[in-house]
Structure 1
Amino acid sequence: MGFTTVAVVLFDEIPLFEASVPIAVFGERRGGLPEFDVRAVAAEGGPVRTDAGIALAAPYGLDAVDEADLVIVPTWRRPLGRPPAREALEALRRAHERGATVVGLCLGTFVLAAAGLLDGRTATTHWRYAPLLASAYPRIQVEPDVLYVDGGDILTSAGSAGGIDLCLHLIRRTYGSQMANDIARSLVVPPHRAGGQAQYIDHPVPAPADGDPLGETLDWALRHLDRELTVDALSARALMSRRTFDRRFRQVTGTTPTQWLLHQRVLHAQRLLETTREPVERVARSAGFASAVALRPHFRRQVGVSPTTYRETFGGPGAPDLPAERRAVPELA
């Protein structure tokens, strides 16, 4: 079912950029494309005060939510701040009950959760706040590493860029890829990133205190990831039995030595892809993988894309230049 009227529900103390995401995607008039009736809603009445101190004169009240086909909460103030206004939560519930599509971008997921719309559903939010969402709302299955979750009538996304991805996904699923590609080209962003793709997060594993034999061993391992490192060898270096080493390791890091090593190898490969011109085969060996073939499945599983795609997206000045034919946003059918 299509949508033409989009209500963007804005709360006080929200980040300015995130608030502007759905307005940028749906609100700009672009020649040759359908126009949406985008209504900026002041959820708490009066001018909307952003976290930067800028006041926004949102021209609509909550009654606009009752008339919208698509209702988007683009963000929210700090999750542990004062709760959303009761009137706003009721408006969201009414919108969902009458069949509108309801969307929470980034911290806007917390507003949908407070309205009870996500109970028994899968959702996501910015990775930094995903554990808080899961603990505050245990009836929600939180997916912390994906860009967005499409639940049909209710959708949620990760951080700022994930919000753009979800808005383009809505265009694509409703009006087709050509329209989504045209809007993406206008915004100069990738035309499509799958929702299941991982958020680009550097998940650090907590390090033990300095002077701890385990901490010294992990520091040594990080400096020698290109070597073949076995758990038995690491436990011997820490002067511990394998059983004691495994137990202490899990207590300190929350994971197993094998999982930690694999994770650190992929992180190291990410950094090399970002900062060097080394071929993927050499990057793989420098990170402790036997070959690029051995690296790829682990890299894709952890990061969500292939090493080559990651380099194309995040490679800095030290990374290889892309071929000319790959620099433009592709025109996908």
Structure 2
Amino acid sequence: MKAIICEAYGLPEKVVKITERPTPSPKDNEVLIKIHATAVNDYDWSLVLGKPYLIRLMFGLLKPKHGLLGMELSGTIVAMGAKATKFKIGDAVMGDTSEYGFGTFAEYISINEKAVIQKPQALSFEEAAAIPHASCLALQALRDIGQIKEGQKILINGGGGGVGTIGLQLAKLYNCEVTGVDSQEKLAMMTSLGYNHVIDYKKVNFTKAGETYDLILDCKTNKAALSYLKALKPNGAYVTIGGKLSGLLKVLLWGKFAPLFSSKKLKVLALKTNIGLDYIIELLTQHKIQCQIDGPYPLEDAGRLIQYFGDAKHKGKIVMTTNP
């Protein structure tokens, strides 16, 4: 089978390679999935670069131990392990596999059957690959951690990416006023999706603009931790889902101390994979929200697309498809 792997740490277009590997056989509790579509995530960018250096402690000091890329998929069950009972051959499935393993940048993957759920017919394979990770991040950040309420004033930093575009639509279900922060190139698209206000991050630092918000969803974590408190209303909440490790650690630290002197909250989301995905699928099939897909592109473009992701030029979720 064709698979995309990372052979060394470095720039994606230099170290990400197309290889031929044996098609795996499913172990007892695994299913073999023919992958139809997959998506690029921060994991892929971080693994390829080998940064932050914590990545190297987890996946290999000098080079990746396995080099497996990809953690989202949609596809079809083609074989089952002896003890796998959740699906049958021919079932269409989807999911974020990161709790059980990586390697969705390939034609096939053998993975624990718990890593995926049934794909509804109403969703295309491209849509199904675009939502498991980003939509669960957005939902858990806004609803579960941020406790979003009707009519709130919300800001999403990184509003034009996969998490931001879903987060906007979830916030609109609560009739919230939503501001999105991203690059100038994405602002028109963001306005067309329904953002009430958009900010070019190169021109305006939202933590110093004088506006305050009930809830901030941050996909970047690229400001001083205490500055987020200044951008929150009393009893407001800031929730980050990703960004530089140093920024996340500072938010985590100050989040412990903030309650001692403020009613505002600083939170770091620890994602629970695929939790809430059924709800997102229900919203999609009822046309209450929609996917914003950048692509689809062929799997062979993985190196270029990981760099594209790292440069933050993508609009929505970068989706790749394998050959039929």
TM range (shorter): under 0.3
* Structure possessing the higher relative contact order (Cα contacts under 8 Å, 6 or more residues apart): 2
TM norm structure 2: 0.26
The structure richer in helix per residue is 1
**Could you say which structure has the larger radius of gyration?**
1
TM-score (norm: length of structure 1): 0.26
